[in-house]
Amino acid sequence: MFKFIAVFLLSLVTSFSAWAESFVAKVDHNPISYGETFTLTLQYDGAPGRSEPDLSPLNKDFVVHSVGRSSQYRNINGVSSHLYQWNVVLSPKTDNQLTIPAISFKSYSSQPIKLKIAKDEDAGNSVPKFSIGRSINNNKPLVQEQILYTLIIKTTESIHGDLPQFVDSGNNEWIIKQLDAPTVSSEIDNGTEVQTISINYALFPQKSGHLKTPELQFNGYYIDKDKARNRSYSNVFSAFFDDNFASGFGVNPAVTRINLTAQPLDVDVQPIPSANNGNWWLPSTDVKISSDWDDKIPEFKVGEAASRKIRVTAVGVAENQLPKLSFPETPELKQYPETPEYKSSVVNDDIVSEMTLNVVYIPQQGGKITIPSLTIPWYNTATETTEKAVLPSIAVHASGTAPVIPELKSKTDIKTPTTPISEPSSDSKGLSLKFVWGIVALAFALGLLVSWLILHFMHAEKRLNQHASASSDIDDILRSDNLKDIRNIVISWARELFPEHKIINLDDVSSVFSSEDLSSQLQKLGAALYAGRNDGFDKTALHKTMKKISKKTASAQKQKPLLPDLYK
Dihedral in degrees, nearest 10, Cα atoms 529, 531, 532, 536: -70
The pTM is what? 0.56
pLDDT at 126: 59
pLDDT at 436: 60
Phi/psi at 217 (nearest 5 deg)? -120, 140
Cα–Cα distance between 229 and 505 in angstroms, integer? 33
pLDDT tens-digit map of 189-233: 888 899 999 999 999 999 999 999 999 999 888 887 766 655 544
pLDDT at 113: 94
pLDDT at 493: 87
Examine residue 372 and say whether the peptide bond preceding it is cis (omega within 30 degrees of 0).
Answer: no
CATH classification for the domain delimited by 275-399, as one of 2.60.40, 3.40.720, 1.20.58, 1.10.150: 2.60.40
pLDDT tens-digit map of 164-183: 999 888 888 999 999 989 99
**Would you list the DSSP string of 221-245?**
EEE-HHHHHT--S-HHHHHHS-HHH
Q: What proportions of the chain, in percent to the nearest 5, are helix, strand and coil?
A: 30, 35, 35
pLDDT tens-digit map of 529-557: 766 666 678 888 888 898 888 888 766 65
CATH number for the domain running over 130-269: 2.60.40
Domain extents in the chain: 2-118, 130-269, 275-399, 455-559
pLDDT at 435: 64
Instruction: Give me the helix-helix angle, 516-531 and 539-559, nearest 10°.
Output: 140
The parts of the chain modelled with pLDDT lower than 50 are 7, 12-20, 120-124, 232-252, 408-414, 416-419, 421-423, 426, 428-431, 464, 467, 560-568
Beta-strand pair 98-100/266-269: unpaired
Q: Are 520 and 493 in contact (CB under 8 A)?
A: no
Range 2-118: architecture per CATH? Sandwich (2.60)
Cα–Cα distance between 486 and 13 in angstroms, integer? 65
Phi/psi at 324 (nearest 5 deg)? -90, 125
Query: Do 2-118 and 275-399 agree at the fold level?
Result: yes
Q: Among candidates 355, 358, 354, which has minimal Cα distance to 338?
A: 358
Helix (H, G, I), strand (E, B) or coil at 567: coil
pLDDT at 480: 83
